[in-house]
């Protein structure tokens, strides 16, 4: 069991030339989050006293993406190898702590595997390794006749017999900081690549009679780094497969586990069903018995029990109550809140709208910046005209209102409780309760030379 405090160093300075992108490699995304975010989250779960990230290319962008995290940043201005990268972090580390070294381009890094390493790290150097049928490009783990690790040899420096070794280094390792500090000072770049290899500390540990062990991990994907867009796509699919597997374990019905994308955190209750091609972004919660139709995109939303989302619906920053029916082809935009038993049908768009219990907007309507009461029916083609070209205004529709088809409600306006708006009306004034209101032009006319006014925004 680990007794010493823990410092974590994350090596994230590489440019990622093979990504063919101006964006720093570690800011490319897996599951809707930066590659480095996955590694930082793993580090946090280990409860370290310090997290030090060594950065290089695109440093300002990388740091700005993690402003809310308690991270110590160490610059590696020249890319002189992994040993040189750790040298940049060394001044920030606590001498009486253990140090765990992680790689910023390995997003599926396993918290459990890291804990296994740390359980043995108080008095020795512990390395994460794995067996690879084709080890080309990897540093080989060289063991003695007793099975103890006595060297890690990089591909370009390996002999023919060493190249045949299929146990390879992952780059993840842990040790007491006081050992690391001593070994880092002794690194040289006398090798084929003229870089300061962090792996050379194994040789120093053996010389100092410090035990060196390698823990072989079976899950190769948890130690696989990303160096190209091909790698990115492959790891994305592995990540999504694992997310789908977790949902299935929880009892979620997935119509096709290979056709779901989770780009954030999806919480599910019992009896949830998800059809093919759905994308979940940010923080999404699906209540008991929720059914999500094919090809929906749902972002930062809470959907309560019994609600059915029909295919091709887009939901963004919205809360939906119980036993509601949404879609198909509906779009719920930020700020929208739907109470229980509401209906929002095909080709309906809502933005910053609050809809109370039992109300229905079933066809071809736009409702923006609106407060809608209980048991309201809004007919097909209705529009709340909330924008005058410079400013937005609110429409209030009180309980039990019936709005006829093809009506325009020009905000700011209040439609009184129990009122009826005749189809085809353009309403520009507040309407009384329990009354039929209609406003239809008797003739069509044109005004030549009329100019649309230029409106000034109100402060």
Domain boundaries defined on the chain: 6-223, 241-437
> Of 84, 146, 343, 363, which one is the catalytic site residue?
363
Using 50, 70 and 90 to split pLDDT, how confident is the model at 59?
confident
Tell me what pLDDT residue 35 has.
97
Tell me what pLDDT residue 452 has.
66
- Dist. CA 156–CA 142, nearest whole Å: 15
Tell me what pLDDT residue 338 has.
98
Tell me what pLDDT residue 459 has.
65
- Dist. CA 276–CA 374, nearest whole Å: 34
Tell me what pLDDT residue 2 has.
62
pLDDT surpassing 80 at residue 450: no
Tell me what pLDDT residue 446 has.
65
| Three-state DSSP string of the chain | CCCCCEEEEEEECCCCHHHCCCCCHHHCEECCEEHHHHHHHHHHHCCCCEEEEEECCCHHHHHHCCCCCCCEEEECCCCCCHHHHHHHHHHHCCCCCEEEEEECCCCCCCHHHHHHHHCCCCCCEEEEEEECCCCCCCCEEEECCCCCEEEEECHHHCCHHHHCCCEEEEEEEEEEHHHHHHHHHCCCCCCCCCCCCHHHHHHHHHHCCCCEEEEECCCHHHHCCCCCHHHHHHHHHHHHHHHHHHHHHCCCEECCCCCEEEEEEEEECCCCEECCCEEEEEEEEECCCCEECCCCEEEEEEECCCCEECCCCEEECEEECCCCEECCCCEECCCEEECCCCEEEECCEEEEEEECCCCEEEECCEEEEEEECCCCEECCCCEEECECCCCECCEEECCCCEECCCCEEECCEEECCCCEECCCCEECCCECCCCEECCCCCCCCCCCCCCCCCCCCCC
What's the CATH architecture for 241-437?
3 Solenoid (2.160)
Tell me what pLDDT residue 134 has.
93
pLDDT in tens, 92-123: 999 999 999 999 999 999 999 999 999 999 89
pLDDT in tens, 349-408: 999 999 999 999 999 999 999 999 999 999 999 999 998 888 999 999 999 999 999 999
pLDDT in tens, 250-277: 999 999 999 999 999 999 999 999 999 9
Pairing of strands 6-12, 50-55: parallel
Compute how many other C-beta atoms are within 10 angstroms of the C-beta atom of residue 277: 17
pLDDT surpassing 90 at residue 1: no
pLDDT surpassing 70 at residue 424: yes
Q: Which position has the higher pLDDT, 8 or 197?
A: 8
pLDDT in tens, 126-173: 999 999 999 998 999 999 888 889 899 988 889 999 999 999 999 999
> Which superfamily is assigned to 6-223 in CATH?
Spore Coat Polysaccharide Biosynthesis Protein SpsA; Chain A (3.90.550.10)
Please indicate whether residue 343 is annotated as part of the active site: no
Mean pLDDT of the chain: 94
Using 50, 70 and 90 to split pLDDT, how confident is the model at 193?
confident
Tell me what pLDDT residue 361 has.
98
Q: Among candidates 416, 344, 332, which has minimal Cα distance to 378?
A: 344
- Dist. CA 126–CA 123, nearest whole Å: 9
């Amino acid at each position: 069991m680990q007794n010493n405090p823990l410092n974590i160093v994350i090596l994230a300075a590489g440019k990622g030339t093979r990504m063919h992108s101006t964006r720093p490699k570690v800011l490319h995304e897996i599951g809707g989050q930066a590659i480095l975010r996955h590694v930082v989250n793993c580090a946090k779960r280990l409860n370290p006293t310090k997290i030090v990230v060594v950065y290089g290319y695109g440093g300002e962008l990388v740091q700005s993406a993690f402003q809310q995290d308690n991270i110590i940043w160490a610059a590696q201005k020249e890319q002189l190898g992994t040993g040189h990268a750790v040298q940049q972090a060394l001044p920030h580390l606590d001498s009486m702590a253990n140090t765990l070294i992680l790689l910023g381009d390995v997003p599926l890094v396993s918290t459990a595997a890291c804990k296994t390493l740390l359980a043995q790290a108080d008095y020795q150097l512990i390395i994460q390794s794995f067996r690879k049928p084709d080890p080309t490009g990897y540093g080989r783990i060289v063991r003695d006749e007793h099975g103890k690790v006595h060297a890690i040899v990089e591909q370009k420096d390996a002999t023919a017999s060493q190249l045949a070794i299929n146990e390879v280094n992952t780059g993840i390792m842990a040790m007491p900081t006081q050992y690391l500090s001593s070994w880092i000072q002794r690194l040289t770049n006398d090798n084929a690549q003229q870089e300061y290899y962090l792996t050379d500390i194994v040789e120093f540990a053996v010389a100092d009679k410090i035990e060196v062990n390698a823990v072989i991990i079976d899950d190769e994907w948890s130690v696989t780094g990303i160096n190209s867009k091909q790698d990115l796509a492959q790891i994305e699919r592995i990540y999504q497969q694992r997310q789908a597997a977790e949902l299935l374990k929880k009892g979620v019905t997935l119509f096709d586990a290979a056709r779901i994308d989770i780009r954030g955190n999806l919480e599910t209750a019992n009896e949830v069903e998800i059809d093919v091609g759905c994308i979940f972004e940010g923080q999404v919660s699906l209540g008991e018995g929720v059914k999500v139709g094919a090809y929906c995109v749902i972002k930062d939303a809470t959907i309560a029990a019994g609600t059915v989302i029909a295919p091709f619906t887009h939901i963004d920053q919205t809360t939906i109550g119980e036993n509601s029916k949404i879609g198909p082809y509906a779009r719920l935009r930020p700020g929208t809140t739907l109470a229980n038993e509401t209906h929002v049908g095909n080709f309906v768009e809502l933005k910053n709208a609050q809809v109370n219990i039992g109300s229905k907007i079933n066809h071809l309507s736009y409702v923006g910046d609106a407060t809608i009461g209980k048991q309201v029916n809004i007919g097909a083609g209705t529009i709340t005209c909330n924008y005058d070209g410079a400013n937005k205004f609110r429409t209030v529709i009180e309980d039990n209102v019936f709005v006829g088809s093809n009506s325009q409600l020009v905000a700011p306006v209040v439609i009184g409780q129990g009122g009826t708006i005749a189809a085809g009306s353009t309403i520009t004034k507040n309407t009384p309760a329990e009354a039929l209101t209609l406003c239809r032009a008797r003739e069509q006319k044109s005004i030549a030379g009329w100019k649309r006014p230029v409106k000034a925004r109100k402060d």
